[in-house]
Amino acid sequence: MFTFALGNLVSRPLRSSLALAGLIIAIASMTILFAIAEGIDKVVDRTFAQIPGLAIQERGAPIPLFSSLPAEWQQELLAIPGVAVADAEIVQRLNVLDGKTLISPPRFLVGLDVPQRLRLKEDIYRDHLLSGRFLGPEDVGQRRCLISQQISEETGKQAGDSVLLNRNPCEVIGVYNTGSLLLDVNILMDLTALQDMLRLGRDSVSAFYVEAAPGVDKKVLKATIEKHFLGRTPPLRRSDFSFSGILQNIGQTLLAGSPDANPSYPATPATDTKTSPAPDGQPSAVEVRLAEDWNERFTEFTGDLNLFLSLITTMGVTIALLSIVNTMMMSVSERMTEFGILRANGWSKWNVMQLMTLESALLGITGGLIGVVVGWGATHVINALFPDRLQLHAGLRLLVFGGIFSTLLGIVGGLYPAWLAASRSPMEAIRRG
């Protein structure tokens, strides 16, 4: 039966090749698209596995870029039992790098509280330093920075060179490489130096990075910190975290990207950030995130992304399915006499259906195998061409799924033509042929 089915496909090379090509393109495209979401999962897992601390930012802020907290809260954090280090951080989008206006990929200026940062037992930037040195006490208030290997290659700058950040000269003292797309977009500086360079006030920061004391349960510490800031008044800069508000923030940032721009948020009058009476059920003013919390957020995002990718893939799969049905219908039309003769020589309806279904299944299996190989190879080519923008990952599970899905697609595409071929009586099939 297998040899018979294979021979029938080979005897019609053009039609079989066209059906196979449609299936290969559909499966390869599906592999590449879902490799995007799988690549994001891998990047997130690998990144936050190396960041054991707690990130504290304004409640509702999607990322620290859109967060603002009073700088004085750092001392309160340090006074909380279980907190070993509380590093205050500022995150700002960089608009012009060495005279080049940035759109994509984005670059960010990150200001660190150097004395607190040096107390961290684990620091992903310091642990992945390639050349030069990390920020030290002598860099407090000085325009010195660390850049990633990506930015180093992009600008041609190394340790000891000077780089322009929004037209402000800054000395490069080191180059790092974490291997993560989420972190290798950052340029690290001393907190006060960044505030002075961008003319930011000293009364607010974007977020705090907390390292727990040895033996302290991080989930318990998270609850303790959030409870400590219950009932606080709003932060210094009220943020709009709605979709339109975020788009407005992004638009303002992009508009500030002219070569003469030196963007900063306007200074805001200081407000009382101490505990005040709060309505029942009011949440904490801060949101504390562990590594698993970030993973959950990105999992939600990739879940929506998978749905979107599924809708796109459905169109290609539908076209591939229709091509298989068309190929098998044409085969049935041409071979009706053959089926009649087979039935007259003792073949049952089930035998005819088996033959046709096996032919369509062979198309599905072949298309699936070639498709996943093409898709897998394409992900490596894309990663090599755009190393600083994409990290696609086509894992074994995705490849196996693609092969099985293609086989099922081939079988389903051949069911109706198989039923049509077997439904005729031997004499009717010979007469119609």
| pLDDT tens-place values along the chain, 433 residues long | 767 677 777 777 777 787 888 888 888 988 998 888 888 778 777 777 778 899 999 988 888 888 999 999 999 999 999 999 999 999 999 999 998 998 878 899 999 999 999 999 999 999 999 999 999 999 999 999 999 999 999 999 999 999 999 999 999 999 999 988 888 999 999 999 999 999 998 999 999 999 999 999 999 999 999 999 998 865 544 444 444 444 444 444 444 444 344 433 333 333 344 444 344 457 889 999 887 777 666 666 666 777 777 777 787 778 777 877 877 777 777 777 777 787 788 888 888 888 888 888 888 899 899 999 999 999 999 988 887 777 888 889 889 998 998 888 888 888 887 787 777 777 776 776 5
- Domain match, 38 and 99 both: no
Which domain does 246 fall in, by range?
A: 54-289
Q: Which of 289, 317, 339 is the last residue of a domain?
A: 289
Place of tokens 């279904």: 357
The whole model's pTM is what?
Answer: 0.69
- Domain match, 278 and 318 both: no
Q: Which of 229, 256, 289 is the last residue of a domain?
A: 289
- Domain match, 62 and 33 both: no
Determine the Cα–Cα distance for residues 353 and 330; give it in Å rounded to an integer. 15
From 212, 208, 206, 236, select the one nearest 224 (Cα to Cα).
212
Determine the Cα–Cα distance for residues 196 and 224; give it in Å rounded to an integer. 33
- Identify any residues that bridge with 230 across adjacent strands, giving them in sequence order: 284
- Domain match, 161 and 273 both: yes
- Domain match, 6 and 105 both: no
For the chain, how far is it from start to end, CA to CA, in angstroms?
Answer: 22
From 20, 103, 65, select the one nearest 367 (Cα to Cα).
20
Determine the Cα–Cα distance for residues 356 and 41; give it in Å rounded to an integer. 41
In 123-268, beta strands by DSSP E = 129-132, 144-148, 162-165, 168-176, 186-190, 204-205, 207-212
Measured in whole angstroms, how far is the alpha carbon of residue 403 from the centre of its chain? Answer: 24
Q: How many domains does the chain have?
A: 2
For residues 55 and 65, the answer to whether their CB atoms sit within 8 Å is no
Determine the Cα–Cα distance for residues 107 and 164; give it in Å rounded to an integer. 13
Residue 294 lies in a domain: no
Q: Which of 254, 289, 324 is the last residue of a domain?
A: 289
- Domain match, 272 and 421 both: no
User: Is 392 in a helix, a strand, or coil?
Assistant: coil
Residue 273 lies in a domain: yes
Q: Copy the structure tokens of residue 162.
A: 């000077």
- Identify any residues that bridge with 170 across adjacent strands, giving them in sequence order: 163
107-112 and 186-190 beta bridge pairing: parallel
- Domain match, 124 and 250 both: yes
In 100-222, beta strands by DSSP E = 100-101, 107-112, 129-132, 144-148, 162-165, 168-176, 186-190, 204-205, 207-212
